[in-house]
C-alpha cells in the first residue's frame, strides 16, 4: 500500500500517506480517466512522458479509488520536511 501511495502522489500532485495499516503485497487494477498527466515523478523530478491516449470517459482517480478499491483520499494538514537555504555565495576563485 505504501508503493500505491507513492504512485498516487504523482497523479494527484500531492503527498499521499498510507494510513490503511495494510501490509504485504497486493495485485491491484485501477481504471480511471486520465484527466491530466503527472508533472513530477515520485521523487519530485520531471515526469517522464506518458504515451497513453487521454481517456475522458472514465471516473476520476478519486472516484475510481473509492468505487474500485474501497480506498479514499482525504485531504489533511500535517508536518512535511522542508529544506531551507538561507544564504548562497559565488565560490571564491582558486
Residue 35 pLDDT greater than 90, yes or no? no
d(CA 94, CA 91): 9
Distance of CA 58 to the CA centre of its chain: 19
Residue 18 pLDDT greater than 60, yes or no? yes
Task: Read off the pLDDT band of 60 (50, 70, 90).
Answer: confident
- Give the residue with greater pLDDT, 34 vs 14: 14
Q: To the nearest whole number, what is the mean pLDDT of the chain? A: 81
Nearest to 40 by CA among 49, 32, 31: 49
pLDDT at position 91: 92
Residue 70 pLDDT greater than 90, yes or no? yes
How many domains does the structure of the chain reveal? 1
Nearest to 38 by CA among 71, 18, 9: 9
Q: Facing residues of 46 across strands?
A: 40
Q: Which domain holds residue 58?
A: 1-94
Amino acid at each position: 500500500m505504501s508503493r500505491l501511495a507513492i504512485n498516487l502522489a504523482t497523479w494527484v500532485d500531492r503527498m499521499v500517506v498510507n494510513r490503511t495499516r495494510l501490509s504485504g503485497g497486493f495485485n491491484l487494477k485501477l481504471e480511471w480517466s486520465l484527466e491530466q498527466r503527472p508533472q513530477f515523478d515520485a521523487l519530485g523530478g520531471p515526469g517522464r512522458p506518458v504515451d497513453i491516449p487521454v481517456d475522458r470517459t472514465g471516473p476520476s482517480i478519486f472516484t475510481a479509488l473509492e468505487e474500485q478499491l474501497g480506498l479514499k483520499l482525504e485531504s489533511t494538514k500535517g508536518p512535511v520536511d522542508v529544506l531551507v537555504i538561507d544564504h548562497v555565495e559565488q565560490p571564491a576563485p582558486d
